[in-house]
């Protein structure tokens, strides 16, 4: 995702100054409940004190501990630690500020898919100096993020042949095109109203950007020698862009909200924007999340204050004046005054069939409209399918959608419209470790016509406003959700929120226990009865990220002297042993090091033993980790390398070392061809 500026003091210990609760008190209550539930033999007080001591929150006498002095860039101590069955055995690597990627010993990094690589038959070789929209529509898009691997043939468990699906979240024109930024002669240092540089888009540049958004579908194959390659003449290869025609389906489709100047029916939409993370359905389709769509639309202040759509746009943070990208100067659909409803047609779950390159992508409105990070699915005992998704904004919510119909493993066609009917829920996390999924159904509770919700379309278009009324828990930027295939639990990533507990912002709570939360955390959710269609759950905090010497960090109760420093968890993935792999987005601001990819066991004696496996490059986040089914290949995105620089003054030229950096999907393999990370 596009980073949100870090605003905290990275050297601070987050002791909740000025907030109504102390971090130690909140964590003590949570750990106390967890110990009692698990039936610990020792007394609760003793075990809680031990676990708090392990976090650094308490000294041996139960008082707040002193802060140890250590560099956040220090590598974990090399003291031997007994590994549990299935726990990754590689030696953790140190944090890095280097210009190149690093990876744990015994592994190989290979830049595999780069922005501009030819994808479709007849695609030209990438030429930075002569980019065109027509060429970009035939080449790999920009800013790779989420990655999905789908075996070939369909329905198999193949690990040497498949389709790689890659999201292309947004573009960085300032490092894609020469002369895109120019000094602003009116700039005054320290001014909050005037940018130091002015953007200078042209029609040609904007059209290239539109073509660089969306997704790529790529057939890939591994040879007998173990080398992976792209099948460049594959009929499966496909580009989906910001101009690809799509259908709107579900309860909001056809409503007045979704009718625009270019579509009077409310059933068709041009393109997808800001595809951040995603997921795969049990029936082999891709569900891609549209996240920060607000940045593309301009001139909200031009709408009259009493127009109903304006309130919705304000809740979703649309731009008051000129947009940073200035696409509205070339296309009216990005000007809110000219087309007030177009922005409502973005922020949805986009489902398409990668096995059918002629299929029409569908925006499934039943899953709600917000800044979707991604989707993970799980099949309930009833056969219904649950999809979890986070709304990546400070103080927004975690959601679950449960299909009305049941998954049919023997009839793929019968599953293809399951996402059009079901119940959308939003999460409430209670202080005692219980939780509730609150249904977002028009006519129930506060979601009435009196409160502005006269139809289910109203609820879905303004999902955030609906969740506000129900009193859902405001979270610290809910990003990725993933279900663990081994223990059946669900893991929710909260990336960071430096506004927590400040000024008039919401205070800390049990699920978000740190004020000025610069480093983020991960919550472990257990659905009641292990039923993903359940409406109640229990939860506990698994990781409170940061420098392990920070008193407010916590790593599943594991001793912190062997823990790798980590900040701003973003995307997660599980290996076949159920170990959690975590990519980060924000460490350059919080820890002043490159982002990375980490792994941590979630069960057994090594629960919480976090180790750094791979590091990124300056300006780039690490995202989208995805394994082949046998875990012998790992694909990782390096998104926006060099962000923070310009074409003329780059901060990175990775991976080619030439004129400009290129977002790239990296292939990680183990020397000798075994499993990655073992």
Please choose, from the candidates 363, 351, 349, 345, the residue with its C-alpha nearest in 3D space to the C-alpha of residue 461. Answer: 345
Q: Are 28 and 552 in contact (CB under 8 A)?
A: no
DSSP, res 201: -
Pairing label, strands 521-527, 478-483: unpaired
Q: Which residues contact 93 (CB under 8 A, 6 or more apart)?
A: 75, 102, 103, 104, 105, 612, 613, 614, 615
16 in any annotated domain: no
Residue 29 pLDDT:
56
DSSP, res 457: H
418 in any annotated domain: yes
Token digits of residue 89 = 């055995």
Residue 60 pLDDT:
30
Between CA 620 and CA 595 the distance in angstroms is 7
Q: In Å, how far from its chain's centre is CA 580?
A: 15
Please choose, from the candidates 17, 455, 43, the residue with its C-alpha nearest in 3D space to the C-alpha of residue 252. Answer: 455
Token digits of residue 131 = 């980019």
180 in any annotated domain: yes
Average pLDDT for runs of 10 along the chain of length 678: 41 36 55 41 32 37 30 35 64 98 98 98 95 98 98 97 98 96 81 77 97 98 96 96 98 98 97 97 98 98 96 97 95 98 98 98 98 96 98 98 98 98 98 98 97 98 98 97 97 98 97 98 98 98 97 96 96 97 98 98 96 98 98 98 96 96 98 94
Token digits of residue 359 = 């299929």
Residue 249 pLDDT:
98
473 in any annotated domain: yes
Please choose, from the candidates 18, 15, 37, the residue with its C-alpha nearest in 3D space to the C-alpha of residue 27. Answer: 15
678 in any annotated domain: no
Our CA angle for 200, 201, 203, nearest 5°, is 145
What's the domain range around 544?
23-670
CA distances from 448 to 310, 445, 456 (A): 20, 7, 10
Q: Which residues contact 557 (CB under 8 A, 6 or more apart)?
A: 31, 51, 54, 607, 608
Total number of domains in the chain:
1
Between CA 236 and CA 364 the distance in angstroms is 23
Please choose, from the candidates 601, 567, 584, 562, the residue with its C-alpha nearest in 3D space to the C-alpha of residue 636. Answer: 584
Q: Are 660 and 96 in contact (CB under 8 A)?
A: no
Please choose, from the candidates 483, 360, 138, 40, the residue with its C-alpha nearest in 3D space to the C-alpha of residue 50. Answer: 40
Residue 426 β-bridge partners: 399, 438
Between CA 92 and CA 615 the distance in angstroms is 11
Between CA 435 and CA 473 the distance in angstroms is 10
Between CA 48 and CA 21 the distance in angstroms is 18
Pairing label, strands 144-151, 107-114: unpaired
Residue 183 pLDDT:
81
Query: Starting at the edge strand that comes first in sequence, how are the strands of the sheet with 580-584 ordered?
Result: 102-103, 611-615, 596-600, 580-584, 569-574
Residue 79 pLDDT:
34
101 in any annotated domain: yes
Q: Is the peptide bond before 674 cis (omega within 30 degrees of 0)?
A: no
Token digits of residue 678 = 């073992």
Between CA 603 and CA 590 the distance in angstroms is 28
Residue 184 pLDDT:
80
7 in any annotated domain: no
1 in any annotated domain: no
Helix 23-37 vs helix 44-55: crossing angle, to nearest 10? 130
3-state secondary structure of 265: coil
């Amino acid at each position: 995702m596009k980073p949100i500026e870090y605003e905290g003091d990275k050297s601070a210990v987050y002791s909740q100054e000025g907030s109504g609760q102390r971090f130690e008190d909140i964590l003590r209550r949570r750990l106390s409940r967890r110990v009692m539930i698990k039936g610990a033999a020792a007394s609760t007080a003793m075990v809680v004190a031990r676990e708090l001591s392990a976090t650094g929150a308490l000294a041996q006498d139960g008082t707040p501990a002193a802060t140890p002095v250590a560099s956040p860039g220090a590598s974990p101590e090399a003291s031997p630690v007994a590994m549990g069955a299935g726990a990754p055995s590689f030696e953790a690597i140190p944090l890095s500020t280097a210009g190149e990627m690093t990876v744990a010993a015994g592994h190989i990094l290979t830049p595999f898919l780069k922005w501009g690589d030819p994808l479709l038959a007849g695609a030209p070789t990438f030429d930075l100096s002569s980019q065109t929209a027509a060429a970009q529509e035939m080449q790999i898009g920009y800013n790779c993020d989420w990655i999905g691997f789908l075996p070939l043939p369909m329905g198999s468990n193949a690990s040497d042949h498949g389709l790689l699906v890659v999201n292309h979240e947004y573009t960085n024109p300032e490092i894609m095109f020469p002369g895109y930024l120019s000094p602003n002669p009116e700039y005054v240092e320290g001014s909050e109203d005037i940018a130091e540089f002015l953007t200078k888009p042209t029609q040609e540049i904007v059209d290239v950007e539109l073509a660089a958004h969306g997704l790529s579908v790529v057939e890939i194959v591994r040879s007998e020698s173990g080398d992976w390659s792209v099948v460049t003449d594959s009929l499966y290869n496909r580009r989906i862009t910001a101009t690809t025609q799509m259908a709107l389906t579900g309860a909001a489709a056809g409503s007045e909200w979704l009718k625009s100047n270019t579509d009077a029916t409310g059933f068709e939409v041009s393109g997808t924007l800001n595809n951040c993370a995603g997921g795969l359905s049990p029936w082999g389709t891709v569900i891609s999340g549209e996240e920060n769509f607000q940045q593309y639309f301009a001139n909200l202040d031009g709408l009259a204050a009493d127009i109903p759509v304006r309130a919705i746009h304000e809740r979703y943070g649309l731009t008051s004046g000129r947009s940073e990208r200035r696409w509205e100067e070339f296309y009216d659909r990005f000007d809110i005054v000219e087309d007030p409803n177009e922005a409502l047609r973005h922020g949805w779950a986009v489902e398409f069939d990668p096995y059918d390159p002629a299929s029409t992508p569908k925006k499934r409105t039943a899953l709600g409209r917000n800044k979707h990070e991604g989707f993970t699915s799980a099949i309930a005992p009833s056969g219904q399918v649950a999809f979890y998704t986070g709304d990546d904004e400070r103080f927004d919510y975690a959601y679950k959608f449960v299909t009305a119909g049941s998954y049919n493993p023997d009839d793929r066609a019968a599953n293809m419209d399951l996402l059009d009917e079901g119940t959308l829920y939003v999460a409430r996390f209670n202080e005692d470790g219980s939780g509730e999924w609150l249904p977002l159904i028009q006519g129930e509770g506060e979601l009435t016509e009196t409160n502005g919700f006269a139809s289910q379309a109203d609820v879905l278009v303004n999902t955030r406003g609906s969740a506000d009324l129900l009193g859902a828990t405001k979270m610290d930027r809910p990003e990725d959700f993933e279900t663990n295939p081994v223990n059946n639990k669900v893991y929710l990533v909260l990336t960071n929120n430096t506004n927590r507990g400040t000024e008039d912002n919401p205070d800390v709570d049990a699920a978000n226990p740190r004020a000025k939360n610069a480093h983020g955390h991960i919550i472990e959710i257990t659905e009641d009865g292990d039923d993903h269609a359940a409406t109640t759950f229990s939860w506990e905090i698994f990781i409170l990220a940061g420098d392990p010497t920070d008193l407010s960090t916590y790593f599943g109760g594991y001793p912190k002297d062997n823990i790798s420093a980590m900040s701003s968890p973003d995307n997660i993935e599980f290996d076949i042993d159920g170990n959690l792999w975590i990519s980060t987005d924000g460490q350059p601001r919080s820890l002043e090091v490159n982002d990375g990819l980490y792994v941590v066991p979630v069960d057994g004696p090594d629960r919480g033993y976090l180790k750094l496996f791979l590091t990124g490059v300056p300006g780039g986040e690490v995202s989208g980790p995805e394994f082949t089914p046998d875990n012998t290949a790992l694909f990782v995105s390096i998104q926006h390398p060099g962000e923070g620089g310009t074409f003329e003054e780059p901060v990175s030229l990775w991976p080619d070392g030439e004129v400009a950096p290129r977002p790239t999907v990296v292939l990680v393999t183990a020397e000798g061809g075994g499993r990655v990370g073992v």
